[in-house]
Amino acid sequence: MLREFLFKLDIIAPLFALFFVGILQAREKKVGSFSNYVLIAFFILQLVLNVLAGYLQSIKIPNLWVYHLNCQLTHVVFTCYFVAAISKKQIVYAGLTVFIIADIVLLLSVQPYEVFPSYPYALSSFILVCYALVLLNIVIDKIPTFHILSLKEFWLTAGVLTYFGSAFLIFISYHYLSEVATRNIYILWQLHNIFIGLGCIIFTKALTSKQWIRK
């Protein structure tokens, strides 16, 4: 029962997050800031693509291309947020360029669409974590510490650091462990789903927090 729940947590977590968004929108009659749209897009992507991956697997159709698409679209969605949030946009553009080039190289040589994209996931996670640390540093420098916990930027970066920081460690070791411990590789995916669940919880907190008004 617990094992089945953990395997489906990457669907359950974004589904409940979207349910919360529906309640919030019904109460306030609006979605709010651009960052809220980014989080909603992330929830929808995870829900739709993870359901699709599970369905294709259930009918024995190759589904690894779905994970490639998930990695790429998720990276683009959060890149859009950090482009808007970070004043030094060249950092984000440089990271996006590195990701695109590396993803193409990996697709052509190491992990094509019929192989699970552990390295693109790891690279994407690392880059997004770097963006989050840059933004968090900016917020800490500008805002008194006792105000930080009320800010949307803090909770959004906390969600990025929680999920993508953990995902980096999981995916950077995924390929190696899939070869030396094939029978136990499912444990890594369960850990991934736990962290995406925690990420979704933190992101829903960001949805209800106030936007930092820059002066």
Phi, psi (deg, nearest 5) at residue 144: -60, 145
Three-class secondary structure of residue 210 per DSSP: strand
Quick count: other Cβ atoms within 10 Å of Cβ 172?
16
Between CA 16 and CA 187 the distance in angstroms is 23
| Tokens encoding 14 | 């974004």
**Structural contact between residues 157 and 135, judged by C-beta atoms closer than 8 angstroms:** yes
How many CA atoms lie within 13 Å of 13's alpha carbon, on the beta-carbon side? 26
Closest CA to 62 of 113, 6, 18, 13: 113
| Average pLDDT per 10 consecutive residues for the chain, totaling 215 residues | 84 95 76 87 97 95 96 97 92 96 95 94 97 90 72 93 96 85 81 95 91 61
Give pTM, 2 decimals.
0.92
Q: CA–CA distance from 137 to each of 15, 87, 143 (Å)?
A: 31, 12, 10
pLDDT at residue number 196: 96
Phi, psi (deg, nearest 5) at residue 105: -60, -45
pLDDT at residue number 145: 60
pLDDT at residue number 215: 47
